Amino acid sequence: DLSVGSDQQTRQYTITFSASFELRNSKGVRIAGPFSLSSQQSVAIFSGVLITNTEQFFTVKEIAERDVLNRLFSVLSSPEIKKSVL
């Protein structure tokens, strides 16, 4: 929960982290994909504060990045990918 005084306002931001990729063989032929992964996280920041200078921003950004990376590793370790690579 976030509570603020009557003279303070917050703004809600949505941070999106996205990654797109495909797998190609040594000849440049696509063997899987393309894949698009995305994660959105929300953060509330006091008005007048530069969002990229806040600890909340870096924390939420890291959560979004980890979420996408975990899903990327899940895709790469899936049976379908293993089958197409071997």
pTM (2 d.p.) = 0.73
Q: What is the pLDDT of residue 56?
A: 85
Q: What is the pLDDT of residue 24?
A: 93
d(CA 14, CA 60): 9
With 0-12 / 13-18 / 19 or more C-beta atoms within 10 angstroms meaning exposed / middle / buried, residue 48 is exposed
Say which amino acid occupies 29: V
pLDDT tens profile 21-74: 999 999 999 999 999 999 999 888 877 777 777 888 889 889 999 999 999 999
Q: Are 21 and 33 in contact (CB under 8 A)?
A: yes
5 vs 74, higher pLDDT? 74
